Amino acid sequence: MKSRPNAWITILNQRPDARCRLFCLPYAGGGASMFRTWPSHLPPDVELWLIQLPGREERFREPRFTRVEPLVDALAPLVAPYLDKPFSVFGYSMGGLIGFELIRALRTRGSALPTRLFVTARQAPQLIETRPSLYQLPDEQLFEELDRRYGGIPSEALKNPEIRSVFVPLLRADIEMIETYRYQPGEPLDCPISVFGGQTDRITRDELAAWQEMTTREVEVQQFAGGHFFINTNPAPLLSALSRDL
């Protein structure tokens, strides 16, 4: 079953006897459709609440966010009314950063807090990025550098003018959001964090393990075969780990 409480949220596998909810946030340039097959791989009593950010897929005409803080300020009050069941938050790369700040915003509002945060392919937020900025590079240099650092850039974005006209501005906005983010120190979270990464990703195990500073609870780090976008080539181990932790 599928429903939409608002433009930001699509619910998959909605059912009255659901045990918990999993709010999902995509990587840069991605949309909610990346999670569409997940219900068949997760426990049947888990509802998937997919966050569709503006500027992508069916919301491609809407203005894109270029800063994390205003995005989270807009998202938190839309999520808050639906935290009446136990819930967790999953974020892939950029989504992990947004998910972390969303939980902090919910805490500030006095809302319910998650039973667990799942972060994939994202270093801990307090770590400072030392590589040169990307979002202002010309198109060809941007794609070359993204492919060198992360791989997985869809070739159709380079070849198809129509797709490129939509995808490139979205990708730039998302990268700008990541690169302009600055962690503001605060109280650590009070929920466990499961951190996943690719074995050949540039993000090291130490950078993943540094999420321990962000919580008073345990952090579990697992790495799977593949690079930054291992979800596209090797999703089964991640989905198995999610099922276990949920």
| Region 201-210 average pLDDT | 96
Q: Taken in order 121, 24, 178, 188, is the CA torsion positive or negative? A: negative
Read off the tokens for 56. Answer: 């992508």
How large is the average pLDDT for residues 190-218?
97
Find, among 124, 121, 129, the residue nearest to 209 by Cα.
124
Indicate whether 195 belongs to any domain. yes
Cβ(231)–Cβ(205) below 8 Å: no
Query: Would the pLDDT of 156 be above 70?
Result: no
Q: Using 50, 70 and 90 to split pLDDT, how confident is the model at 79?
A: very high
CATH code (residue 72): 3.40.50.1820
**Measuring CA to CA, how many Å separate 191 from each of 23, 44, 69, 89, 211?**
15, 23, 21, 11, 12
Is residue 131's pLDDT more than 90?
no
Say if 157 falls within a structural domain: no
Q: Is residue 134 part of a domain?
A: no
- Number of domains the chain is built from: 1
Q: Is residue 163 situated within a structural domain?
A: no
Task: Tokens 């999703």: give the residue.
Answer: 235
In a domain, 19, yes or no: yes
pLDDT score of 17 more than 70: yes
Q: Catalytic residues, which ones?
A: 93
The answer to whether residue 153 is domain-embedded is no
User: 18 in a domain, yes or no?
Assistant: yes
pLDDT digits (tens, 9 = 90+) for 160-175: 788 788 888 999 999 9
- In a 3-state reduction of DSSP, which class is residue 124? coil
Q: pLDDT value at position 141?
A: 87
Lowest mean pLDDT among 57-71, 132-146, 179-193, 225-239: 132-146
Question: Which residue is associated with the tokens 């699509």?
Answer: 10
User: Is residue 157 pLDDT above 70, yes or no?
Assistant: no
- Average pLDDT over the chain, rounded to an integer: 93
- 41 in any annotated domain: yes
Structural domain boundaries enclosing 25: 2-128+182-245
Range of lowest pLDDT (103-117, 129-143, 164-178): 129-143
Answer for the pair 118, 88: CB distance below 8 angstroms, yes or no.
Answer: yes
What's the gap between Cα 179 and its chain centre?
15
Which of 139, 134, 20 is CA-nearest to residue 88? 20
Q: What is the reported pLDDT for 154?
A: 65
